[in-house]
Amino acid sequence: MLRVGLSGGIGSGKSTVARRLAELGAVVVDADVMAREVVDLGTPGLQEVRKRFGVEVIGADGGLDRAALGRLVFTDAAARKDLESIIHPLIAARTRQSFAEAPREAVVVHDIPLLVELDRAADYHLTVIVGASEQVRQERLVGDRGMSREDALSRIAAQATDAQRRAAADVWIPNEGSRAALTAAVDDCWSLRIAPFNDNLLTGARSHLPAPVIEAYDGTWPAQAARLTARIGAALGERAVDIAHIGSTSVPGLAAKNVIDLQVGVRRLADADDAGFVEAMAAQGFPRVAHITSDSPKASMPDPAAWAKRFHGSADPGRVVHVHVREAGSAGQRFALLFRDWLRDNPAERAAYEQEKRRLAAQSSSTTEYAAAKEPWFDDAFARVEAWARR
């Protein structure tokens, strides 16, 4: 089951996107619907809200006056936190039940307005954010929903910023144009990313780069690595000693293949072979690649055991990831960290490495061939890295 977190600021068009995803076959779990249900007439949730906020938020029929409650909590941060403490546990329980009832092969889209504010991105295989400028959203709230401009501004201000949403987004769907353009963007996201991701998740397949293409440094790589690290951390818990962003995409300014390399440190490599470890990684979208079990030993440290590892890929077709699982303190784990920091600290070595990467990529027909061709350069650099570390 692929879990997709869908969010966006108020007035962004998130609900329109959710409806289109449902039409395409997704099971949509709507947090707003659940938020209404848990405070319906006669529920314990409504009783708790009345106790905290008083009769002024209760309508003539005895039910919740949502407009009155909204005016209160969107201008008072403390009141908003109190409301969240009441309804969020109730919503969470219903959400877990809805996910559990969905078929194994389903794509489950969690339509959750506060995904970013609650720091929930690690709960999903993929986060999709619908984006529109504050000005556009303000005009929609005033024109389409009849809010006052003051009310619209206060609600927008109470939510996450666009910068915070972009940092949480695996997929950003812009919505400042026509309905047809939005529908086309959602359809592309479904056919190119979501549906094949779910297929890969169900079959244990991983994504690959078709060729070793070197790209200019992308400033979003660290944020992407942070999201992936959080997901792996959520899957493994204390089984991971640490999780680090390594490889070329972790070095600011360095051109690289568009592959995020992560390193998971474990206490013993045998821990990575435990069925629970392998299953947790696969369920989170990182299937084991069984035939990769070692790095190439270096001449000064020839013992193959020091370079043993386990390897996982990513089932996401839109984000190739290599997860290297190494024993904490092993030669392989140490070199990966030192090599990254050495390149960060030495502009001349970084430039030389980039030149070599571009040269080898141009003459390699596959990423496997490219990786093998780099090994002599790594062997030569190993002594320089160790000397730098000693200094």
Query: Residue ranges of the alpha helices (H) in 250-330?
Result: 275-283
- For residue 130, CA distances in Å to 95, 183, 190, 225, 372 come to 21, 12, 14, 21, 41
User: Which residues have a Cβ under 8 Å from the Cβ of 387 and sit 6 or more positions away?
Assistant: none
Q: What is the chain's length? A: 391
Is 204 annotated to bind a ligand? Reply is: no
For every residue of 5-25, DSSP letters joined together read EEEE-TTSSHHHHHHHHHHHT
Q: Tell me the pLDDT tens digit for each residue of 298-318.
A: 988 899 999 999 999 999 999
Nearest to 330 by CA among 353, 348, 307: 307
Is 15 annotated to bind a ligand? Reply is: yes
CATH class of 2-203: alpha beta
Angle at 27 between CA 21 and CA 28, to 5 degrees: 70
- At residue 299, the pLDDT reads 83
CA–CA separation, 386 and 233 (whole Å): 29
pTM to 2 decimal places: 0.89
Q: What is the CATH number of domain 221-390?
A: 3.30.460.10
With 90 as the cut, is the pLDDT of residue 151 above it?
Answer: no
Domain(s) labelled CATH 3.40.50.300 in the chain stretch across 2-203
Contacts of 66-71 spanning 24+ positions with Cβ under 8 A: 66/36, 70/155, 71/151
Domain(s) labelled CATH 3.30.460.10 in the chain stretch across 221-390
Is 13 annotated to bind a ligand? Reply is: yes
Q: Cα torsion at 232, 206, 258, 387 (round to 10°)? A: 60
Is 253 annotated to bind a ligand? Reply is: no
- At residue 385, the pLDDT reads 95
Is 294 annotated to bind a ligand? Reply is: no
Q: Tell me the pLDDT tens digit for each residue of 192-208.
A: 999 999 999 999 999 99
Is 12 annotated to bind a ligand? Reply is: yes
- At residue 338, the pLDDT reads 97
Nearest to 110 by CA among 200, 182, 11, 27: 27
With 90 as the cut, is the pLDDT of residue 154 above it?
Answer: no
CA–CA separation, 5 and 112 (whole Å): 7
204: left (phi over 0), alpha (psi -120 to 50) or beta: left
